[in-house]
Amino acid sequence: MRLAIISDTHNRYAAVERALELLAPRQVDLIIHCGDIEDGDTVEMFPSNTHFVFGNCDTERDLLRESIRKIGATLHEPFGQLELAGVSLAFVHGDDGRLLRDLERSDAFQFIFHGHTHVAAERRSGTARVINPGALHRVQTKTFIILDLATGEVESIAVA
């Protein structure tokens, strides 16, 4: 199973469109969006196999909820938790440092994804690989990642 993890799209339609174009040939099964979506039009660019969490810039939450419902995607609040192919993972925006630390300290997840900082990074915390995929806005190089759950391989994709 292959996942795409995207964060901090901040209603930048051209960057989202390009990222989704880059995903198409890579045969991902699921997309995780780690928040800071900002508007319903951005949500509606994503396919129904997308899982969202809110970020600190997602102020129009009722509108976002409606758009997520409209496309048949899934919203997780205040964080997402999935068990896929025997792998446990969590995702959160990352602006709530206490929540992120609690997820890390729980030792319940093999992967924890977050955004917020707009800085792509990976580190180990207890049993988890904690990964920030980067951002599609306010960065010199826009990035997202693809995770192959079978191998644990993470590929960072630059969005031109």
The CATH number of the domain holding residue 16 is 3.60.21.10
pTM: 0.97
Q: Judge whether residue 33 has pLDDT over 90.
A: yes
CA distance 62 to 54: 11
Residue of 160, 118, 121 lying closest to 19 (CA atoms): 160
- CA 135 to chain CA centroid, Å, is 10
Domain carrying residue 13: 2-159
pLDDT of residue 144: 98
- Number of domains composing the chain: 1
pLDDT of residue 98: 97
pLDDT of residue 160: 86
Q: Judge whether residue 92 has pLDDT over 90.
A: yes
